[in-house]
Amino acid sequence: MDEINNMMITVGVRLLFVGYTDLFGEKSVQYIKEHGGSRSDILAQDIMTPLLQLEVLKQDDVDKASVGDIVETVKTAERQHMLETTNLENGTQLISGIFSSTRIEKLPGIKLELSARAKTFADPGRALT
């Protein structure tokens, strides 16, 4: 966990397919409650979101979407990151892109203002520290 966090700080990102909220949110707290130990004992695989539970945008839909459509989708989902996927002919799903709200907000004239609403019980405590 600490290695992942240090890597994310070094490269200036908040997502390495193990997101910041996975590292410091309710998932890590719950894992420690259930298995004992400390945060440094947790492996990325212990808290990763299963692929089938990820919210994704299909590449075919993204190809037909305007920038405004993508902005509204990210706003509505209240996600910092949205994955774009494509399906190969053999049925395999691949991640073909990532939309980052931080990057989108850097575009001229774009303002996302994602809700600061807590998504887990751990979020309010982090917001206060």
What's the number of domains the chain is made of?
2
Same domain, 45 and 63: no
Between 21 and 46, the higher pLDDT residue: 46
pLDDT in tens, 51-72: 677 788 999 999 999 888 988 8
pTM above 0.75, yes or no: no
Owning domain of residue 24: 1-49
Phi, psi angles (nearest 5°) of residue 128? -85, -15
Closest CA to 55 of 99, 118, 111, 108: 99
Question: Do the domain assignments include residue 39?
Answer: yes
Q: Tell me the pLDDT tens digit for each residue of 8-43.
A: 788 777 766 666 677 777 888 899 999 999 888 888
Whether 54 and 111 share a structural domain: yes
Query: What are the beta bridge partners of residue 127?
Result: none
- Amino acid type, 8: M
Instruction: Give domain status of residue 125, yes or no.
Output: no
Alpha carbon of 86 to those of 4, 102, 104: distances in Å? Answer: 27, 23, 21
- Say which residue the tokens 């600061």 belong to: 116
Q: Are residues 65 and 22 in the same domain?
A: no
Mean local confidence (pLDDT), 43-47: 85
